Structure 1
Amino acid sequence: MLRTRTLGAATMVALLLSTTAVLANDIVIAGGRVIDPETGLDAIRNVAIEGDRIVAISEFPLAGDVVIDATGHVVSPGFIDLHSHGQNIGDYRMQVIEGVTTALELESGIVPVSDWYEDQATKKLPMNYGASAGWTHSRIATFSDTDPLATAAFFTDAQGRTDWKQDIASPEQSVRIMSLLEQGLKDGALGIGVNAGYAPGFGHKEYYALAELAKKYNVPTYTHVRYASNTEPQSSFEAIQELISLAAITGAHMHLCHINSTSLSDIKATMALVEKAQAQGINVTTEAYPYGAASTVVGAAMFSGPDWRDRMDSTANNFQLGADRMTEDELADYKANKPGTFIVWHFLDEEDPAALSLLDVSVTNPATAIASDSVLWSYFDENGNILLYEGDEWPLPDNVFSHPRSTGTYTKILRSYVRERGVLSLSEAIRKMSLLPAQTLEDSVPQMRTKGRLQVGMDADIVVFDPATVSDLATFENANRPTVGVQTVIVNGGFSVRDGELVLDAPNGRAIRNTVVN
Structure 2
Amino acid sequence: MFDLIIKNGTIYDGTLSEPVIADIGIIGDKISAIGKLPQKAKKIIDAKNLIVTPGFIDIHTHCDMAFKRTILKKYHDAVPEECKRNHNQLHQGITTVVTGNCGLGYSDTEFWLDIVDSIDFSANVFHLIPYGIVREDVFGDNQPKKLSSSQLELLKNRVSEEMENGAIGFSTGLEYAPGCFSSTEELIEIAKVVRKYNGIYSTHMRNETGIGKGNLNVLDSIKEAIEIGKQAEIPVEISHLKLGLPKGDITISQVLELIEKAREDGLDITVDQYPYNAGNTMLTHLLPDEFKTSNSIKKEYKTATEKKEISKKISSIFKTYLNPSQIIISDYPQKKEYEGLTLEKIAQRENMNVSDCYVDMVCEEISPWGIFFLTDEEDNKQIASKDYVITSSDSWTVQKNVARPHPRFYGSFPKKINELALKNNIISLQQAIRSMTSLSAEKFGIMNRGKIKESYFADINVINLENLTDKATYENSHQYPEGLEYLFINGIMIIDSKNKSI
Higher alpha-carbon deviation: 84-93 or 323-332 = 84-93
Residue by residue, what CA displacement relative to the aligned partner does 1:388-434 show, whole Å, maximum 9, x if unpaired?
xxxxxxxx443432111111110101221122222121111101110
Task: Specify the code of the residue in structure 2 equivalent to 1:123.
Answer: I
The answer on whether the counterparts of 1:287 and 1:369 sit within 8 Å (CA) in structure 2 is: yes
1:39 CA displacement: 7.0
Higher alpha-carbon deviation: 410-419 or 200-209 = 200-209
CA distance 1:429–1:501, shift in 2 (3 Å):
farther
Distance in 2 (alpha carbons) for counterparts of 1:499 and 1:30: 17
Task: Specify the code of the residue in structure 2 equivalent to 1:46.
Answer: D
The answer on whether the counterparts of 1:228 and 1:264 sit within 8 Å (CA) in structure 2 is: no
Give the count of matched residue pairs. 434
CA distance 1:236–1:339, shift in 2 (3 Å):
farther
Please give the residue correspondences for 1:101-500 in structure 2 after superposition, counting only pairs within 5 Å.
Answer: 101-107=95-101, 108=103, 109-144=105-140, 163-164=142-143, 167-198=145-176, 199-232=179-212, 233-260=215-242, 265=247, 266-300=251-285, 306=313, 309=317, 313-321=321-329, 322-327=339-344, 328=354, 329-348=356-375, 355-377=376-398, 396-442=399-445, 448-499=446-497
Root-mean-square deviation over aligned CA pairs: 2.4
Residue by residue, what CA displacement relative to the aligned partner does 1:18-52 show, whole Å, maximum 9, x if unpaired?
xxxxxx31111111111113371412111111111
CA distance 1:415–1:39, shift in 2 (3 Å):
closer
Task: Specify the code of the residue in structure 2 equivalent to 1:374.
Answer: S
Distance in 2 (alpha carbons) for counterparts of 1:57 and 1:38: 16
Residue by residue, what CA displacement relative to the aligned partner does 1:155-198 show, whole Å, maximum 9, x if unpaired?
xxxxxx6x54x844444443333332221111111111111121
Distance in 1 (alpha carbons) for counterparts of 2:245 and 2:256: 9
Structure 2 residue runs of 5 or longer lacking an equivalent are 68-80, 290-309, 330-338, 345-353
Distance in 1 (alpha carbons) for counterparts of 2:320 and 2:195: 33
What percent of counterpart residues are identical?
21
Task: Specify the code of the residue in structure 1 equivalent to 2:165.
Answer: D
Distance in 2 (alpha carbons) for counterparts of 1:495 and 1:264: 46
2:349 equivalent in structure 1: none
Task: Specify the code of the residue in structure 1 equivalent to 2:496.
Answer: R
Out of 33, 38, 56, the residue aligned to residue 33 of structure 2 is: 56
1:332 CA displacement: 2.3
CA distance 1:242–1:464, shift in 2 (3 Å):
same
CA distance 1:39–1:319, shift in 2 (3 Å):
closer
Distance in 1 (alpha carbons) for counterparts of 2:112 and 2:500: 25
Task: Specify the code of the residue in structure 2 equivalent to 1:260.
Answer: K
Distance in 2 (alpha carbons) for counterparts of 1:241 and 1:100: 32
Residue by residue, what CA displacement relative to the aligned partner does 1:464-511 show, whole Å, maximum 9, x if unpaired?
11111111111112211111110000000001111356645xxxxxxx
Q: TM-score, normalised by structure 2?
A: 0.81
Q: TM-score, normalised by structure 1?
A: 0.78
Distance in 2 (alpha carbons) for counterparts of 1:282 and 1:410: 27
Q: Residue 467 of structure 2: SS of its match in structure 1? A: coil
1:129 CA displacement: 0.8
Residue by residue, what CA displacement relative to the aligned partner does 1:38-86 show, whole Å, maximum 9, x if unpaired?
3714121111111111112114553321111212111001100111112
Task: Specify the code of the residue in structure 1 equivalent to 2:159.
Answer: L
Residue by residue, what CA displacement relative to the aligned partner does 1:430-473 show, whole Å, maximum 9, x if unpaired?
0111010011022xxxxx23111101221100001111111111
1:391 equivalent in structure 2: none
Residue by residue, what CA displacement relative to the aligned partner does 1:261-305 show, whole Å, maximum 9, x if unpaired?
669754321221111111111121211111111111112365668
Does structure 1 residue 96 correspond to structure 2 residue 90? yes
Task: Specify the code of the residue in structure 2 equivalent to 1:441.
Answer: F
Distance in 2 (alpha carbons) for counterparts of 1:311 and 1:101: 43
Q: Residue 128 of structure 2: SS of its match in structure 1? A: strand
The answer on whether the counterparts of 1:225 and 1:262 sit within 8 Å (CA) in structure 2 is: no
The answer on whether the counterparts of 1:111 and 1:180 sit within 8 Å (CA) in structure 2 is: no
The answer on whether the counterparts of 2:16 and 2:430 sit within 8 Å (CA) in structure 1 is: no
Higher alpha-carbon deviation: 180-189 or 53-62 = 53-62
